[in-house]
Structures are given as structure tokens and as C-alpha cells.
Amino acid sequence: MSALLAAQAVDLSSSNTTLVVVVGVIAVLAVLIAMVFRGQVLAANDGTENMKTIAAAVQEGASAFLNRQFRTLSIFAVVAFLLLFLLPAHSDGDNETVLKIFRSVFFLVGAGFSALIGYLGMWLATRANVRVAAAARDEGREPAMRVAFRTGGTVGMATVGLGLLGAALVVLLFKGDAPTVLEGFGFGAAMLAMFMRVGGGIFTKAADVGADLVGKVEQNIPEDDPRNAATIADNVGDNVGDCAGMAADLFESYAVMLVASLILGKAAFGEQGLIFPLIVPAIGALTAVIGVYLTRPRAGENGLRTINRAFYLSALISAVLCTVAAFVYLPSSFGDLTGATETIAAFDGDPRVIATVSVIIGIVLAAVILALTGYFTGTEDKPVQDVGKTSLTGAATVILSGISVGFESAVYTALVIAAAVYGAFLVGGTGVVALFAIALAGCGLLTTVGVIVAMDTFGPVSDNAQGIAEMSGDVDGEAAQILTELDAVGNTTKAITKGIAIATAVLAATALFGSYTDAIRASLAENYSKFEADSLVFNPGTLVGLIVGAAVVFMFSGLAINAVGRAAGAVVYEVRRQFRDIPGIMEGTGKPEYGKVVDICTRDSLRELATPGLLAITAPIAVGFGLGASALAGYLAGAIATGTLMAVFLANAGGAWDNAKKLVEDGNHGGKGSPAHEATVIGDTVGDPFKDTAGPAINPLIKVMNLVSVLIAPAVVGLSSIGNDSNTTLRIIIAVVAVAVLAAAVVVSKRRESVISDTPAEVNAAA
């Protein structure tokens, strides 16, 4: 990234400084609107005493987990802060040391904002769930849906506000040097989000799988029956995984895309390239408010259709306003851009048209993925209905049909994303302008992120509301049916947001990949032509790098799913022990020990954090220093391509299995307690770590690996055979150390085992 800054020095005119201040004000207003939504949620009735008691247990467990997780992650943050300071930083002036300090400081700011977004999402969600249940019980469907969506709106507006505020503040303070400082901001947000995604995902799915296998399959009791010791942990997991984890994930998508667009914008459009990528998401902040307020269900209308309508309308408004902004702010020729180099100024094209079409491509991409993912995971469409029908022939056919849906949907989604990337590239024409066009497409997609986050948080809040209603026994009849419907809608909205998040990741990673090649170009200077020759596909090093990049995605996914399996095994045996050893549980006279299951999930999820994190950071280092810059380029290409397909496959297969289970529970194919229901429960438990642990974590994974690669690119070139033969020994030592650290982490992870014995001594030891 830093290499792009060498193109020209850029300061800010007074008018552009004013625009940045306006963007900052909009960011602050977005945060204030989030507080307004928060007040509206908390003003709602919080239900009966039974409901309050259950909600309080969920709040306590979620807060305890996140506090312990943040203490664990603080160690990684300190180490990354120090290592980031050691890497070189480009400056337009003579203040490299100052920029290195602030790059590390804003690494902590990015990580802090990501943590704050996650914590705020969890805190409000654990208080909104009981209010949604109470609203369904006392007022009906529309008030319940409004509370759930305003909860998501709170998190969405906070995400937009803090992301914009961080970027605007850096641009205002550092002007032309802002992209260098923003490297740290984006890296901090991405790294913390990845850890929160992995830790929260393992927690939530360990509890969910354990609860379902013992409660539904073995004891034949409802999903959220209070007699099941894993129910509180399951509800806690929804908040630390889906609310906190996904909120942090979407925030880092927002932050990293802003980083990529500002870096490329400066090189492509000069001074205006630093400002326009801020204007686009600022418009998105305004349209997100409109989208939240437009979410009002009509009589008899499916909740998903209501949410989709609000999304499409807000996206359309964003497209119109961004077009107006491009034609008002940008000049009609590259020669009129402030600070544009002679090469860029000679480019044949209209910056206004390039910017407008690129942004619209991103907005259209979000809308297409919404429709595509909704089709493959919605209960009203054929794919999920077909998966539901296969339950009549057993669990094996449910698994096969769900995998088929995941594979097929991944192909279509990947092709749509690829078409958007290539379309933006063609619009930009060539070179850095084409890369900036891809980044602007990502900015266009970001205009919808406020509504996207609201859609995502809607899912776990509705899920928790149904759980609290069932556990309390105070909600039945029509109110219970309302909550079941909202839960099914939430399953689909969660799948949709995962699809859009991975699209954002691909756009950001592609832009960062371009930044990597430009960093190599600047570092090699006259030797760049040799690098290009060495990077051709038939070069063994590049091909090996591509294979390794693809393999890392598989390894990462396998580690995450295996971690869920181990933790779920411990939960299964603990829940079985309580059913066996605590008198009166099935009769309702004995009280389960909920805290023990929460402790198991917390312990097992936190001890699994290190290995995926080390994999994301050390693998690019090992490839770059061990095999060279061209192999690292292949590594990034392999990781992006495989990560796209894998993430969509896992998310959509899991979503299809989950909603197929909902179809059966609604009375289809024999209903609850039937053999078909048991088959779909098994499918759902397989899909849980797919859609809520491994799949979503791939999104920040590929961005962390791209950011690490960009940061180490100058050092890789400096120690490579192309740049300096005398440093070969040091380069090999760095690669060997990285491989050794990664291998040790994987070996330690693989040696951990869940409890595979039903003897009381071993079960008690695990608990």
C-alpha cells in the first residue's frame, strides 16, 4: 500500500478539508442516531419475571465470555502493536517515525472500535431479546419486528458511524499520509474481528450442537426447554457469535474497504481520491436511517419481504445520491484532478462516469446477492423445501441435499462477485484507476452496510426471543407462532448478510491485492519486469503459492469445525450427566446447572483462538520470505478464490439445513418429534459450525492475510534474491521460524480432545 503513496504528495484544500469535517459530523450523527434507536429498544416492555430471569442469565454469560475473550486478545494486540512499529512506513515528508507510531496507535483504535461494536451489539441484543418476546405476547407481530430491527439498526448505525469517524479523523490529521496510518486501522479491525468470529463461533455452535443432540434427539424435548442444561449457553452463544462476532466482522469489512479505497483513490484521483471514498459511505449512513424506518410490515406480509423491500429502497436512494455526488464533486477529465500525476492525467476517460458506474456496480452486487442467497436459504423457495422433503428418507439424504445446495449456490455467488470485480475493472480501464474502480464498487456495497448489519442482528435477537419465550412458558398461541416466523426470517437474513460480507471481503482483498503488486513495483523499480516474468502462471513458485493459499483456507475451516466438534462433545457429556445425576430434571422439579455448560464453552472456545490467528499471520510470512514475492502473489490469489467459494458454500449449506428444520417444525413432513424432524436436526447440527463458525471467519481471514502481505511486501523484496542475494540466509530463517510457529500451533490444537467417555469421573473433570 505504502508504495502507492510515492506517486505524488497530496495535501487538502480548504474546501476538501471542510468536506472531511462534514463527513466526520455525519459519522457523529450516525452514532447519535444509534443511541436514539437504542433508547427506543430499551423503552419497550421487558416481559414477565420468568422472562427477565432467563434474560439476566443470558446477559451475565455473554458479558463474562466477552470480558475473558478481550483479556485474551489483549496479548495479541500488544505483540501486533510492537511488530507493526518495526515495519517501514512511507511518508510524503520526513516524518516516517511519526507515521509508524500513529500507524501502530490506530491499529489499537481499529481493534478497539471493532471490540466496541461487538460489545455494544451483544449488550443491546441480550436486552432486546426479552423485549421482542414481550412485544409478540402483548402487542403483536409488527411491534415485535420493530424492536428486533431497531436493535439491529442501533448496531448498524454504530458500525457506520465509528468506521467513518476513524477514517475521516485520519484523513483530517494526516492528509496525504493518511493511507499509511489507515493500514494500521484496517489491520486492527480485521485481526480482532477474525478472533471474535472464531471464538464466538466456537462458543455458540458448541452449545447449540450439544443442546440439540441431547435435548431434541435423545430426550425428545423442545429446542429451548429449560430442562436442558445447554439452553442458556445456546442463547449466550447467539449473542457472542452472531451479534458480537458478526458486528465486529462487518465493521472490519467497512474499515478495510475504506482503507483500500483511500489508498488507491489517492494514487488514481489525487486529492479528490482521498475525499470521494468518504462521501459515498457518508451517503450510505443517511440512507441506512431511511432503510431502518422503512421496515414496517404490511398486513399478512412475510417478514423477509418487508426487510428486503426496505433494503432495495435504501439501495436505490443510495445509487441516486452517489451519482449526484460524483457529478457535483468530481471533474469531467483526469487533467482537472488536483494532484494527479502526468500519467494519470493523460488517461482517456471521465472520472465522474467511472466513479458513478463503479459505485452502482457495488450497490447492484449487494442487491443480487441478497436475492440469490435468499432464494437458496429461504423457507418459501424450492431449494430449502427440497431439503425438507429429503428428511422423509433420513438424515443421510438431508446431508447430501444440503451439501448440494451449498455447492450450487457458491458457484452462482462466486460468478456474480467475479462479474462485479471484472466489470469495475473494465470501467476503470487500466492500472491503478481500474483498481480504484474496484474499490469504489466496494464503497457502493458499503452504502448498504447499515441495513445489512440491522438484518444480521435481527436474526439472533429473534432466535433468542423465541428461546426465552419457550423457556419461560409465558408465551403461547399466536404470539409463539409470531416468534417462530421471525426466527425463520432471521435465519435467512443471517445467511444473506454472510453472503454480502464475503462479497465485500473479495472486493477489498482484490483492491489490496492490487496494492500489493504496486508495493512490489515501487520496491523493485527497474527490476519489476523480472518480477512480472517470474509471476506468470506457469512459474512453479507462483503455482505453489496458489496451492498453499487455497490449502490454508481448507486448514482454517477444518480447524474451526474440529474445534466445535471437540467442544460440543464435552457439552453433550455434561448435559447427559445432568439428566442422569440430578434428580427431577425431566419432571421439572430439579434445576439444571446451566453455568457448567457456559464454562465449558468459554474454556474451549478461548483456548482455540491462537491457532487460526497464527495461521492467518504466519502463513503469508512463510510463503513470502520462503518462496518470494511472486509466490506470495499466487498465495493471495489462491486464498481469495478458494475463500470465496468455501465461505459461501458453508454459509448457504448451513442456512438451508437450518430452515429445512424450521419447515418440519412448522408441521410439514410429520412435524416435531417425527423421524423427519430427527433427520433435519442432525442436518442442522452439521450445518451449525458451517454457517456460524468456519464460513463467516473466512471473511476476515482473507483480509488479514492480504493486509499482512502488503505490510511485509517491502521487506520480502529487500531480502529476496531479486533485491539482495546476501540476505538469503536471513530470509530463510524468517520463513523457517514462521513455519515452526504455525506447525507447533496446529500440533497443539490437534492434540486437544473432547470428552469421549461417559464415566462420571471424566465428565466431571471436563466440566
Q: How confident is the model at residue 743, as a pLDDT?
A: 87
* Residue 586 phi, psi dihedral angles, 5° rounding: -65, -30
CA dihedral 282, 256, 62, 588 (to 10 degrees): 90
What's the CA gap between 166 and 152, in Å, rounded? 21
What's the CA gap between 566 and 307, in Å, rounded? 37
How far is CA 30 from each of CA 156, 261, 589, 675, 686, rounded to the nearest angstrom?
9, 21, 49, 49, 39
Q: How confident is the model at residue 22, as a pLDDT?
A: 92
What's the CA gap between 41 and 147, in Å, rounded? 6
Q: How confident is the model at residue 536, as a pLDDT?
A: 52
What's the CA gap between 442 and 432, in Å, rounded? 15
Q: For the purposes of burial, counting CB atoms within 10 Å of the CB of 50, is it exposed (0-12), middle (13-18) or buried (19 or more)?
A: middle
Q: Measured in whole angstroms, how far is the alpha carbon of residue 464 from the centre of its chain?
A: 21
Q: How confident is the model at residue 525, as a pLDDT?
A: 58
How far is CA 364 from each of CA 236, 292, 367, 414, rounded to the nearest angstrom?
35, 19, 5, 15
Cβ neighbours for 625, distance < 8 A, ≥ 6 positions apart: 712, 715, 716, 719, 731, 732, 734, 735, 738
What's the CA gap between 696 and 198, in Å, rounded? 9
How far is CA 711 from each of CA 88, 101, 293, 434, 704, rounded to the nearest angstrom?
8, 15, 41, 22, 11
Q: How confident is the model at residue 526, as a pLDDT?
A: 60
What's the CA gap between 210 and 69, in Å, rounded? 22
User: Nearest 5 degrees, angle CA 52-CA 55-CA 58?
Assistant: 155
Q: Which three cell numbers stand for residue 514?
A: 492490487
Do residues 4 and 263 lie in contact, with contact meaning Cβ atoms separated by under 8 Å? yes
Question: Chunked in runs of 10, what are the mean pLDDT values of the chain (767 residues)?
Answer: 41 81 92 91 87 83 80 80 74 70 88 86 86 87 86 87 87 79 83 81 82 80 78 78 75 78 79 87 87 74 78 89 92 74 58 92 89 84 90 92 93 92 86 85 85 82 84 80 82 77 79 66 60 58 88 90 85 88 82 83 79 85 86 88 92 89 85 86 88 84 83 75 62 88 82 50 41
Q: For the purposes of burial, counting CB atoms within 10 Å of the CB of 394, is it exposed (0-12), middle (13-18) or buried (19 or more)?
A: middle
Over the range 712-725, which residues count as b (16 or more CB within 10 Å of their CB) and which as e? bbbbbbbbbebbee
Q: How confident is the model at residue 335, as a pLDDT?
A: 75
Shortest CA distance to 707 belongs to which of 509, 542, 441?
A: 509
- Domain extent, residue 199, equals 2-766
How many structural domains is the chain composed of?
1
Amino acid at 195: F
Shortest CA distance to 377 belongs to which of 500, 293, 281, 259?
A: 500
Tell me how crowded residue 440 is: count the other CB atoms within 10 A of its CB: 36
What's the CA gap between 285 and 446, in Å, rounded? 9
What's the CA gap between 421 and 690, in Å, rounded? 26
Do residues 387 and 652 lie in contact, with contact meaning Cβ atoms separated by under 8 Å? no
Cβ neighbours for 557, distance < 8 A, ≥ 6 positions apart: 646, 650, 694, 695, 698
Do residues 651 and 497 lie in contact, with contact meaning Cβ atoms separated by under 8 Å? no
What's the CA gap between 288 and 306, in Å, rounded? 15
Residue 584's H or E segment, with its range, is none
Do residues 266 and 338 lie in contact, with contact meaning Cβ atoms separated by under 8 Å? no
